[in-house]
Structure 1
Amino acid sequence: MTFHDAGGQGSGTSPAPLPAALREPVQRVRAGWITAVVLTNLGINAAFFGPLQVLLAQQSQSFDPGRKEAVLALATGFGAAVSLVANPVAGALSDRTTSRLGRRVPWVLGGTVLAFAALLLLAGAPSVAVMVLGWCLVQAGCNAAYAAVTAAVPDQVPAAQRGQVGGLAAMGQTVGIVLGAVLAALAGGFVLGYFYCAAFLLACAVPFLVRGRSVPLDRRDRPPFRWAGFLKGFYVSPRRYPDFGWAWLTRFLVNLGNSLFTLYLFYFLQDAVGFPDPAAGVLILTGIYAAVVVVTAVLGGRWSDAVGRRKPFVVASSLTIATASVIMATVPTWPAALAGAAVLGAGFGMFLAVDFALLTQVLPNALDRGKDLGVINIANSLPQVLAPLLAAPIVLHLGGYRALFSVAAVVGLLGAVFVHRIRGVR
């Protein structure tokens, strides 16, 4: 199995001895710690995707039925723009946190509290402007918590266990997506739905706040803070760290294809398929998708650990995701949507588990794990900004949903191409 050491990708020199908080982990993590990480991912994703899949669409339609697509695109676009900044900044600040609880727990706590309050604000939003503000604050809080809990994995999980942990974390993400849709559907309206998501997020964060403590970073080991250096650090040179650059591009393309696939799913069922209850339809499709993701994420992550390879799994998952888009583009019917959801789940489950393990193996250095994973997470967030900009004109003026899903397939296929450029991981 090919793994990078803590000194950084392609450093060419032996690294100096690292402080205890920054050393590569060697002891396998236990079930209780993994469970806490899974639950945190579950709560964050319920708070993300309950609104994204159902609640924001319902709220946008209540404000302006004739321009619901544009209102939804406005909210999701601004929210994703906030996440572009919040995730890497929170990750970088958590890298330098010297709390006795460790570097990550304070940011999970603060991010969760902010997102909880913002979801309550969304429930009572009197206008589109307040809705957009509330969603931006949810994105800020959830991304801060997500950046911290994600960085905890390379902090505490040895490389040979990361496929397993990545698969289980992906399972938590996926179940969270389902539960977000369930909470939205059970609420019977977006106001109560936001309350349900807020309470669920808070409850799921508690185990990590108890079990997520790690070795604190000594103040003497924290580099001095300078704004110029801090901001400059968010640029990770693809020339100096090419594997990191190619891994970022692969994740960006696959997530852009996935964002194009899912953004207008509610309206696709309502307007193209003619499904009588699109909210229930989203719930059904999400349930199928999630069931398959859980299986392929857990099995794919373990399988990747066992054979010591990552890239073949990422290629196979990218091709499978593109196939799901082809199905939706060619046969816009309810049975085809069911098949597309299953195929998408098969591909995305394996991608979530194995690509995450691959990414942790190309991080430049141990001190900046949170920041560098935050930069990687821009490849998750930036597609959410670009998808509304691409999807709205495609659906309204350039061919409708058939064209949208065709573009999603092509974009996803490119991810399978560029992963081959990564040299340091097999």
Structure 2
Amino acid sequence: MASDKRHDETASGLDAAQRTTLAGNLAAEAADISTAIEADPRAEVKLPKRELLAVFLAQTTLFMALVVPTAFSLAIKIGAIDPAGRDLSLALAVGVGGTVIIFTNPVLAIMSDRTRSRFGRRRPWFLLGLVLGLLGSAIVGFGTVSAVLIAGWAVAIVGYTLSAGMLLTYLGDRLPEQQRGKVMGVIGAISQIGPILGIALAGSFANDLTMMFVLPAIVAFVGPLWFAVTMKDSQFTGEIPPLQLGQLARGFYFNPRRHSNYGWVIVSKFFIYASLAFTSIYGVYLLQGRLGLDVAEVSSLVALIGLGGVVTAIVGAIGAGWLSDKLHSRKPFLVVSALLLVVSPITVGLSTSVLEYAIAALIGTLAIGIYGSVDQALALDTLPSEENENGRYLAIFGLANAVPQAAGPFAAAGVLALFGGDYSWVYFVAGGFAFLAALAILPISVGRRAQLSTTSIVTAK
């Protein structure tokens, strides 16, 4: 009581000038806080359902055209026009396109950070990607020699990865932390569902090698237009320093000591996608050679497994994304998914029946669903967003799958040649890469143990 009385006396003892000054200081601090909140467009403002639906549709249709050629339709077409050299030609088609995007994606992402268009920073590049994807896929569809297919797919994959990268960067710009696990969980599921729908669509044109590429490309052009029109991509009015060659080069590197968590996320993703690059390239030829299936049977089997994969991918992606938000922890899910990706390719390599192959494939879709959602949520958690270069950092993040996509096909062809054309060894090596990915997750210190919110730990200046 005495202390309360003294407090009241002290407060009442403030003269009018002191009270005015105190009120002014409080008002100024409140204004500063309000300004800081307004300056961050993601500050606890959830993306509306209508906008998210447009994002999900864009992701679905983009992945129908992006993933299906490397996993299915390129192998079918190259096998038809170059049966003798199909192993090398397929590796070249996938590898050359993957090599090109290593250099184009970071540069174009930095250019998007610098874009002052009244249509926004990300939208113009997103639309450019759609046009390039459609053009490149048409070249592949109408091509009749391997060289044309290789060139056409290089154009197409630049376009599709540009649009997909702009979509992810847009989410990095606007998606609040409390939505990341759930939204990226759905994105992870869609990343599995889109290719399955694409394979079903392309497989229905197994006897028409042109429409196998052109029709999914048309869908991938039309589907994302709703997102392109409705995205809240306001014009960037901040200061942009003069463009120099050194600034473009920054799109390929960052300081891993300063942002160590982000660095380990990238290392883990690199090994995961090295594993996926090995497992995705020769699946059609393994089914034809070991199990004696023809093109129609392969497309039917892949589509059927894909339907089951929809369930496992949704369970893995949405379930893991939701739980990782609830538990405030991403690492356990990533470790489990990486270990499942060890089991899946090794089982494929040892399979001698359609049933064994199908079980292994479903384990893989479950694992990829888990990894895809939590990995992207973790990338946004550790993104150095305070530097206002989300395009640059997410382009570097994209290199973690672009580099394996480029080098993986050539390495897989080398492993195949080394072991006398035995496709099993390609899958065994893939399992080894997935195990390295699991090890790379362990040093990451985010979530409940680190009590982080949205940015990575700064370990060194």
Return the TM-score normalized by structure 2: 0.84
Deviation at 1:254, TM superposition (A): 1.1
User: Which shifted more, 80-89 or 248-257?
Assistant: 80-89
2:251–2:395 Cα contact (<8 Å) kept: no
Q: Does 1:371 align with 2:404?
A: no
Native 8 Å contact 1:112 1:142 kept in 2: yes
Per-residue CA deviation, residues 280-318 of structure 1 (Å, 9 max, x unaligned), is 222223333233112211111111111111111111111
Of residues 49-58 and 345-354 in structure 1, the stretch that sits farther from structure 2 once superposed is: 49-58
**1: CA distance between counterparts of 2:60 and 2:204?**
18
Separation in structure 2 between the aligned mates of residue 408 and residue 347 of structure 1, nearest angstrom: 14
Listed one character per residue, the Cα deviations across residues 72-119 of structure 1 (whole Å, up to 9, x for unaligned) are 111100011112122222222111222223221111111101111211
Contact 1:261 1:408 in 2 (8 A): yes
Q: Tell me if the contact between 2:91 and 2:409 (Cα under 8 Å) persists in the aligned partners.
A: yes
CA distance in structure 1 between the aligned counterparts of 2:200 and 2:351, rounded to whole angstroms: 27
Structure scoring higher RCO (CA < 8 A, sep ≥ 6) equals 1
SS in 2 for 1:361: helix
Residue 84 to residue 64, structure 1, CA distance change in 2 (3 Å): same
Tell me if 1:257 matches 2:259: no
For residues 159 and 411 of structure 2, the distance between their equivalents in structure 1, rounded to whole angstroms, comes to 26
Q: Secondary structure at the match of 1:213?
A: coil
Partner residue, 1:384: 405
Q: Which residue of 2 aligns with 1:201?
A: 220
2:233 counterpart of 1:211: no
Cα 1:121–1:21, aligned 2, differ >3 Å: closer, same or farther? farther
* Alpha-carbon distance between aligned partners in 2 of 1:20 and 1:136, rounded to the nearest angstrom: 41
User: Is 1:285 aligned with 2:338?
Assistant: no
* Distance (Å, rounded) in 1 between the aligned partners of 2:88 and 2:39: 46
CA distance in 2 between counterparts of 1:20 and 1:52 reads: 43
Matches within 5 A, 1:25-104: 25-104=43-122
* 1:323-362 alignment, distance < 5 Å: 323-362=343-382
Give 1:169's aligned residue.
Answer: 187
Alignment map for 1:125-140 (pairs within 5 Å): 125-140=143-158
Distance, in Å, in 2 between the alignment partners of 1:115 and 1:139 is 6
Deviates more, 1:302-311 or 1:116-125: 116-125
In structure 2, what residue type is equivalent to 1:376? Answer: F
Compared with structure 1, are the counterparts of its residues 171 and 335 closer, same or farther at alpha carbon in structure 2 (3 Å cutoff)?
Answer: same
Moved over 6 A (4+): 17-21
Distance 1:25 1:154, change over 3 A: farther
Residue number in structure 2 paired with 1:4: none
Which whole-Å CA distance do the structure 1 matches of 2:252 and 2:351 have between them? 43
Distance 1:250 1:413 in 2: 10
> Residues of 2 paired with 1:233 and 1:392: CA distance?
29
2:438 paired with 1:420:
no
8 Å CA contact 1:254, 1:415 repeated in 2: yes
Contact 1:51 1:180 in 2 (8 A): no
**Structure 2 CA distance for partners of 1:21 and 1:117, relative to 1, 3 Å:** farther
Alpha-carbon contact 2:106-2:251 (below 8 Å) kept: no
CA distance in 2, matches of 1:376, 1:425: 19
* Residue number in structure 2 paired with 1:5: none
Q: Is there any run of 5+ residues in structure 1 with no aligned partner, and where?
A: 1-16
Can you give the 5+ residue segments of structure 2 that lack an aligned partner in the other structure? 1-34, 449-461
Question: Displacement, 1:171?
Answer: 2.1
- In 2: Cα distance, 1:320 partner to 1:50 partner: 22
Counterpart Cα distance in 2 of 1:261 and 1:302 = 28
Q: CA deviation at 1:125?
A: 1.4
Distance 2:209 2:353 in 1: 27
1:12 aligns with: none
Tell me by how many angstroms 1:222 deviates.
2.7
How far has the Cα of 1:354 moved from its partner?
A: 0.5
Find the residue that maps to 1:65 and give its secondary structure: coil
Distance 1:358 1:30, change over 3 A: same
- RMSD in angstroms over aligned alpha carbons? 1.9
**How big is the shift at 1:395?**
2.5
CA distance in structure 2 between the aligned counterparts of 1:286 and 1:21, rounded to whole angstroms:
44
**2:329–2:446 CA contact under 8 A, matched in 1:** no
Distance 1:256 1:228 in 2: 29
| Counterpart residue number, 2:18 | none
Q: Return the alpha-carbon distance in structure 1 between the equivalents of residues 419 and 39 of structure 2.
A: 52
Cα distance, 1:150 vs structure 2: 0.5
Letter in 2 for 1:52: T
1:263–1:387 contact (8 Å) kept in structure 2: no
Show CA shifts across 1:158-192 (max 9, x none).
11210111011122221210121012111232201
Alignment TM-score, normalising by the size of structure 1: 0.91
Q: Does 1:246 align with 2:264?
A: yes
Cα distance, 1:233 vs structure 2: 4.3
